[in-house]
Structure 1
Amino acid sequence: MEETINYIESTDKINFESTFNIYKYCSALIVEDEQKAQKLLVNILGNKSKFEPHLDFVLADLIEGVGFYPYIKKEDFKITSTDALIRNAYHQSDNLDKVLHEDQKYLLSLINSDKNVIVSAPTSFGKSLLIEEIVATSKFENIIVIQPTLALLDETRRKLMKYDDRYKLIVRTSQEPSIEKGNLFLLTAERVNEFKNLPRIDLIIIDEFYKLSTKRDDERADSLNNAFNYVLKTFNPKFYLLGPNIDSISEGFTEKYNAIFYKTKSSLVDTKSIDIYSEHKDYFDKPIKFKEYKENILFDLLISLQNEQSIIYCSSPARVRYLSSQFLKYLIEKNYPKTNDNLDIIEWIKINISAEWSLLDLLSLEIGIHDGALQKHITTTIIDYFNTQKIKYLFCTSTIIEGVNTSAKNIIYFDSTKGRRTPIDFFDYSNIKGRAGRLMVHYIGKIYNFNEIPENNQVVIDIPFFEQNPISDEVLINLEDVEVKDSNKEQLNRINELPPNERDLIKQNGVQVFGQKNIIDTIRTELKSKYHLISWSNYPTKQQLEYILGLAWNNLLKPNETVRPMTLNKLVTVTQIYGYNQNIWNLVNSTFSYFKGLKEFESVSDNEIMDEAIRDSFQVLKHWLEYKVPKWLSVINSIQEFVCNESGLKPGNYTYFSNLIENDFIRENLVILSEYGIPTSAIRKLENIISAKTPQEEVMKIIKSERLFDNKIFIEYERNKLKNN
């Protein structure tokens, strides 16, 4: 088969006889090894113009033989036999203008059976299409879709907006479920746990379900386990779990929950691995000494691929910024012309961030970045530019694996770690590789390996609330005593020694069990002497912030959680600057002044220092100010309220300050727009147009029906974001 594929790739034109012989061989392969036949067919389709068109009717039969029905429609093959017409009609979606391939159709039949479904399939399988198929049936009244990132959830929301006549789309915990129609909850696991009034749930869908595993070192695994377990126990709904490249799950789970684990290797895209590493091994294995050598090999490769799109995997946000800026310098030295000065985001960046920000230069040379630290609307825009081929190169971290649905003709596996030290394992590598090629876009993708391919180990996903080996205190506390396995009884006894009222509070907060217990005991001990630091409301003083964030920092971080380069003192400072100025740019300017005074930046230009200040501030905003700090404030707020009440003292109230920080100081009824990827600059302008009394669900409808986006106060980028949401 590989010889046949090599022949196809190396030949400019394949005559009638050779075409017939290749098709005949493929027909035999379908009987002997269907997976090989699929791979060969994808390569034939990727080079279809080389083959004899008079034999297209044979090719159509072969495609149908492996169940690749979408490609019959894509290539506009003519089908004449009654049998084939019936089979094609059978694979037509009942609800969408789509044709399902054979495995999708089978998977849909499983979902429509009495079974719960857990599916492992390659990235190019089209698992997400079935989410829309399920919603379109209107079979389930209330559905929860859990995805790991807000970017993925927003992408799903945009796909499912067309069903708002049947479902109310709920993306925030402040929204009330509808009683007139169904509800579609598009939430992270944390938001499911925070939702106070969920109606009866009929179906729960978990995308990237491997994140349930605590063995994959995901700090949010506890939240996902608790959300899934709570919904299962409370509502007994059907469930559909989907993820890539998984070999098996916790033994006994499928039996207990009437589920079927379905693993398919069918892929409608072929990915070719190209070994860059072996040729340059002696240099690549010494990354410090030969850093520039490896970079130049990368940049030369990217130039050779300039007519195709490429994603470059980098280990961290800092690496994304460094490598993209080095590639920019490389292109400038080669006198590559700027071709992208008319992108709508450019004007917005110049007005709202800085005309000197390097992202402008990157975009002008068709380079994008994706690292989880940028503001949501910027990330969404860059992905949109990439998907519409307005940029060619995308430097990204592991966020590209789980954070957004995009693919490219080429993937460059450049760094071999996640962060500074965690090696990329075969599971991660397979997910990175899975971004090469794209269903219904590229038949063939390529991954260029600048590192050794990790050893192929079986990927078994443990489900901690069920398997309990291991199980964290934060998941264990949510189980009934009878659900706990004998091996964890001692761990459970320790939890059960907590007073019932404290245990209920700790369980509700969902973070470090004994860290919370330490905070309860500390506040009890220090209540009288430090009551003035505990009982604040609205805005805290610096001393109050130091005290509360100190409690959180010392007790709520996970044992192995990475915080570098954040420190407690820096966190207090940035929270105070951001909280009191209500603007990220004060934080940027403050960080710029701080960096400028450091010895390590003595020989660095002001533009480069500003670039680093913007990167650092956005990272702090995304991870700390919009996520960690509000959560910590909420947890400690509930604890101080509990302790103050039992002592007969008036508690403080941190909710106001916490909500302001989390929501970027946006008015309550307009916060939902930030979920939709609308820039804050546009939302602030809308505060003067839309009444504060307008319900949040009506805001976007008013913007559309009254064409508010046509108002001259909006620049083009803001107008496009409002119009296209």
Structure 2
Amino acid sequence: MSIITQIDSGNLSYDDFFEIAMHCSKLLSTANSEDEMTVRTIAIHVLNNWGKMPHELYPVWTDIIESVGFYPYIWKNSETMNIWSLSDKVRQKTFLSDYLSSTYLHKEQKKLSKYLLSGKNVIASAPTSFGKSILIEELVASNKYRNIVIIQPTLALLDETRIKLKKYNKNYKIIVRTSQLPVIGKGNLFLLTAERVMEYDHLPPIDLLVIDEFYKLSLKRIDERADILNNAFLKIVGKFKSKFYLLGPNIDGITPGFAEKYNAEFYKSDFSLVDCNVIDLSGKFDFSLSERSLDKQKLLVLYKLLDKLKNEQTLIYCSTPARARRFAKGYFEHLCEQGKEPNIKLPLIEWINRNVNPNWSLSKELAYGLAIHDGSLQKHIGASIIKYFNDGLLWCIFCTSTIIEGVNTSAKNVVLFDGKKGGKDIDFFDYSNIKGRSGRMMEHYVGTIYNFVRAPKKESIVIDIPFYEQNRKVLSNEILINIKKSDVQPQVVDRYNKLYEIEPELMKIIKKNGTSVDGQMNIYNALQSDINTSKYHNIAWTQMPKREAIIYILKLAENNILNFKSKHAVLSYKQLALYIEMYIKSRNIMSIVKNIYSYRLKKIKRLTQEQKYNQLDCAIEEGFHIYRHWFHFTVPKAFRVIDSLQRYVCEQNGKKAGSYSYFVQQLENDFIRENLSILIEYGIPSDTVKRIADRIPLELDEDGVVEFIKHNKSTVYNALLQYEIDRLNQAL
């Protein structure tokens, strides 16, 4: 029996714990890194069973835990972990953060902190549970950098960061939107996606760039947003020579020469304050079965497992939103069949029942401590689900990769139910990231991953930096045009020169837009052909477009900026135009949900109540997907790109240009007036913002709106639901 198994059995005697402690002391005396890693793992499991150990041995094990540098845990458990000697106390104090009060860093965190605070450029690879993100806060708290840009891959993660960092608002103005201007009197903290960095026109000199999940720079990993992230790095570091901190998990190396060029430290560590037990259940299943039969087999095992794990926070990874929703509903029905009663009352349930539909399965699942999480959920719903989960009010979430990459949770267990991501088999890197979501520093010492599919083979993960590597077969034109001519390498110089045959003013527009160069040139040529024809009125419009103009723009965008290959919710530009027109008229996404629902019901001849519920769930998912993916991101982006090109074409042809800015702003912000749009950004439901709009003065700017709400809660909060009040309090 291994030492870990012995400890986890919970049946160790005084002598057993003492013997293991002596074994750990011997290993530490070798000064061998592998031996120290073994001791760290043992120490984590001892901490997980701390209450089962004889109290007399606490000092012995405290010494070992101190020796491996687990200072955050010594501070957390200070009632039973006493540091006695003066030298030990002095050493412990050296691991206090220099700028975060009462925050102890572990041994490797402190080492990384010193690199960062010394002004070095750092590329850090460390496990999910390392605590890389707290060092971002330490950098902000240090006030060493006046203007900081933090790029994170999702709006949910950025909002989580904003809430964490808003305490530093005396030293920094926090900027989350391209409409917010920087200030001069204090620092500016830009929390932006890469797309917004490229769109932001008023950046002051940036002193520090932070890119979280920097592996998304890679083109070899095929991330559709890699181009824009590379260009954001080039825009900031190329223009301002900013210091940078790139952080990500489980990376073994980067493109050779990159660190040297930027005088950066590539820091890699396997140091972790949590351990993960791996339980392989894949041998229970017959993978030669059809997907439907295999799912049936796996779900029987899953539901039994979840019954056993009740009250332990668990994520179930599913490959698609549809599968996550189907399996969550299946487990909810399983609990109902067992006679379980709903016993959880959450303010979100009341909000859903009033504003979406009481028959939406999510409303019912929440009452049993269950939830779903995917990219289609409205921002505030997704954020609330994560908060409830982290607060222990929910215990089980069926999720897609949005949780794995997008937010931080306090999950103890992860179930790898599916082995695909985006239609492709997950690789070892994806698997490591999913596995890393089990266990959480300062929350759970030991997590568990249950593999319902075979784990990928271990492989070395080397992340390519495309703008530096300039691999001829991989480098995209969209990145190439943003590289300084003096940095262009011989293997791509001919392609670079060919691209720069585009006239300079047009090239400036194409670079800023950040989408396909070929696609933008196709649109430019089409606009040149149409500008002096009857189609001019579909090009040069202002305010709100008519149906013909919407169709014209979307047709131009198809296969140049956007496509309908996923066949999910929207099948063509004409259908998308219809939904946009419907949304302009109703200004409520539920009108589209109801339209989809009615259409789905008409297609079924003999409707059962169960079918009605299923079709309602599908309609809500599709409607919310249209809202998040199309109305909040893809359509505004397409209209912005074509707007910039039509202005240029109109100027060339001596025509009055149109302006799509008002329409784009209205669509992105749910037709809410401009000074209130910051509330949408902060995750306040749009219906709530509309209801409080007449209570907030028109003349206030975005910052003024936030301050007004804080100081006039009795007026603003009047007649709001508890959920709406909670969202406002959390956000502001």
Structure 2 length normalisation: TM-score?
A: 0.96
Q: Does the CA-based 8 Å contact 1:272-1:445 persist in structure 2?
A: yes
Equivalent of residue 87 in structure 2, options 83, 87, 107: 83
Tell me the percent identity.
46
Identify which range, 535-544 or 171-180, moves more after superposition: 535-544
State yes or no: 1:6 paired with 2:8.
no
State yes or no: 1:171 paired with 2:176.
yes
Q: Which position in structure 1 is the counterpart of 2:724?
A: 718
Q: Does the CA-based 8 Å contact 1:375-1:622 persist in structure 2?
A: yes
Equivalent of residue 396 in structure 2, options 393, 398, 404: 393
Give, in angstroms, the shift of residue 506 of structure 1: 1.1
Q: Which position in structure 2 is the counterpart of 1:297?
A: 301
State yes or no: 1:605 paired with 2:611.
yes
Give, in angstroms, the shift of residue 288 of structure 1: 2.7
Q: Does the CA-based 8 Å contact 2:410-2:443 persist in structure 1?
A: no
Q: Which position in structure 1 is the counterpart of 2:626?
A: 620
- How far apart, in 2, do the equivalents of 1:272 and 1:660 lie? 49
Q: Which position in structure 2 is the counterpart of 1:456?
A: 458
Give, in angstroms, the shift of residue 606 of structure 1: 2.2
| Offset from partner CA, 1:106-139 (integer Å, 9 cap, x none) | 0011112242101001011011111111111111
Q: Which runs of 5+ in 1 are unaligned?
A: none
Q: Which position in structure 2 is the counterpart of 1:94?
A: 98
Equivalent of residue 326 in structure 1, options 299, 323, 330: 330
- How far apart, in 1, do the equivalents of 2:333 and 2:270 lie? 42
- How far apart, in 2, do the equivalents of 1:563 and 1:537 lie? 31
Q: Which position in structure 2 is the counterpart of 1:542?
A: 547
Q: Does the CA-based 8 Å contact 1:140-1:203 persist in structure 2?
A: yes
Identify which range, 646-655 or 233-242, moves more after superposition: 646-655
Cα 1:564–1:600 change in 2 (3 A) is farther
2:50 maps to amino acid: K
Equivalent of residue 582 in structure 1, options 563, 583, 587: 587
State yes or no: 1:18 paired with 2:23.
no
State yes or no: 1:435 paired with 2:437.
yes
Q: Which position in structure 1 is the counterpart of 2:373?
A: 370
Q: Does the CA-based 8 Å contact 1:549-1:572 persist in structure 2?
A: yes
| Offset from partner CA, 1:55-110 (integer Å, 9 cap, x none) | 11111110111111111112211111011001100001122221100001000111
Matches within 5 A, 1:480-491: 480-491=484-495
- How far apart, in 2, do the equivalents of 1:601 and 1:461 lie? 54
Give, in angstroms, the shift of residue 284 of structure 1: 7.2
Q: Which position in structure 2 is the counterpart of 1:46?
A: 48
Give, in angstroms, the shift of residue 25 of structure 1: 0.6
- How far apart, in 2, do the equivalents of 1:710 and 1:672 lie? 16
Q: Does the CA-based 8 Å contact 2:211-2:246 persist in structure 1?
A: yes
SS at match of 2:150: strand
Q: Does the CA-based 8 Å contact 1:709-1:723 persist in structure 2?
A: no
SS at match of 1:289: helix
SS at match of 2:398: strand
Equivalent of residue 403 in structure 1, options 406, 411, 420: 406
Q: Which position in structure 2 is the counterpart of 1:501?
A: 505
Q: Which position in structure 2 is the counterpart of 1:206?
A: 211
Cα 1:257–1:285 change in 2 (3 A) is farther
Cα 1:526–1:602 change in 2 (3 A) is farther
Equivalent of residue 671 in structure 1, options 677, 700, 703: 677
Q: Which position in structure 1 is the counterpart of 2:526?
A: 522
Identify which range, 240-249 or 496-505, moves more after superposition: 496-505
Cα 1:601–1:89 change in 2 (3 A) is farther
SS at match of 1:372: coil
Q: Does the CA-based 8 Å contact 2:569-2:623 persist in structure 1?
A: no
SS at match of 2:694: coil
Q: Which runs of 5+ in 2 are unaligned?
A: none
Q: Does the CA-based 8 Å contact 2:230-2:479 persist in structure 1?
A: yes
SS at match of 2:267: strand
SS at match of 1:168: strand
Q: Does the CA-based 8 Å contact 2:286-2:294 persist in structure 1?
A: no
Q: Does the CA-based 8 Å contact 2:324-2:398 persist in structure 1?
A: yes
Identify which range, 348-357 or 408-417, moves more after superposition: 348-357
Q: Which position in structure 2 is the counterpart of 1:706?
A: 712
Cα 1:271–1:567 change in 2 (3 A) is same
1:686 maps to amino acid: I
Q: Which position in structure 1 is the counterpart of 2:123?
A: 118
2:241 maps to amino acid: N
- How far apart, in 2, do the equivalents of 1:680 and 1:273 lie? 42
Q: Does the CA-based 8 Å contact 2:695-2:715 persist in structure 1?
A: no
Q: Which position in structure 1 is the counterpart of 2:259?
A: 254
Q: Does the CA-based 8 Å contact 1:170-1:186 persist in structure 2?
A: yes
- How far apart, in 2, do the equivalents of 1:422 and 1:113 lie? 42
Q: Does the CA-based 8 Å contact 1:171-1:187 persist in structure 2?
A: yes
Structure 1 length normalisation: TM-score?
A: 0.97
Give, in angstroms, the shift of residue 230 of structure 1: 0.8
Q: Does the CA-based 8 Å contact 1:362-1:368 persist in structure 2?
A: yes
2:635 maps to amino acid: V
Matches within 5 A, 1:565-576: 565-568=569-572, 569-576=574-581
State yes or no: 1:648 paired with 2:654.
yes
Equivalent of residue 337 in structure 1, options 316, 341, 366: 341
| Offset from partner CA, 1:602-629 (integer Å, 9 cap, x none) | 6662222122111101011111110000
Q: Does the CA-based 8 Å contact 1:595-1:601 persist in structure 2?
A: no
- How far apart, in 2, do the equivalents of 1:497 and 1:586 lie? 48
Q: Does the CA-based 8 Å contact 2:579-2:592 persist in structure 1?
A: yes
| Offset from partner CA, 1:345-393 (integer Å, 9 cap, x none) | 1111111111211111110111011101111111110001100111111
SS at match of 2:579: helix
Cα 1:4–1:709 change in 2 (3 A) is farther
Q: Does the CA-based 8 Å contact 1:116-1:238 persist in structure 2?
A: yes
SS at match of 1:241: strand
- How far apart, in 2, do the equivalents of 1:673 and 1:526 lie? 40
Q: Does the CA-based 8 Å contact 1:533-1:543 persist in structure 2?
A: yes
Q: Which position in structure 2 is the counterpart of 1:306?
A: 310
SS at match of 1:411: strand
Give, in angstroms, the shift of residue 52 of structure 1: 1.8
1:357 maps to amino acid: W
State yes or no: 1:160 paired with 2:159.
no
Cα 1:284–1:414 change in 2 (3 A) is farther
Matches within 5 A, 1:183-262: 183-262=188-267
Give, in angstroms, the shift of residue 564 of structure 1: 4.1
Q: Does the CA-based 8 Å contact 2:568-2:622 persist in structure 1?
A: no
SS at match of 1:687: helix
State yes or no: 1:181 paired with 2:190.
no
1:332 maps to amino acid: C
SS at match of 2:520: helix
- How far apart, in 2, do the equivalents of 1:290 and 1:18 lie? 44
SS at match of 2:251: coil
1:492 maps to amino acid: Y
Identify which range, 79-88 or 697-706, moves more after superposition: 697-706
**What RMSD in Å do the two structures reach over aligned CA positions?**
1.6
1:162 maps to amino acid: K
Q: Which position in structure 1 is the counterpart of 2:517?
A: 513
Q: Which position in structure 2 is the counterpart of 1:632?
A: 638
Give, in angstroms, the shift of residue 572 of structure 1: 1.5
Q: Which position in structure 1 is the counterpart of 2:427?
A: 425
- How far apart, in 2, do the equivalents of 1:687 and 1:9 lie? 56
1:398 maps to amino acid: S
Identify which range, 653-662 or 523-532, moves more after superposition: 523-532
- How far apart, in 2, do the equivalents of 1:708 and 1:192 lie? 37
- How far apart, in 1, do the equivalents of 2:502 and 2:228 lie? 21
1:697 maps to amino acid: D
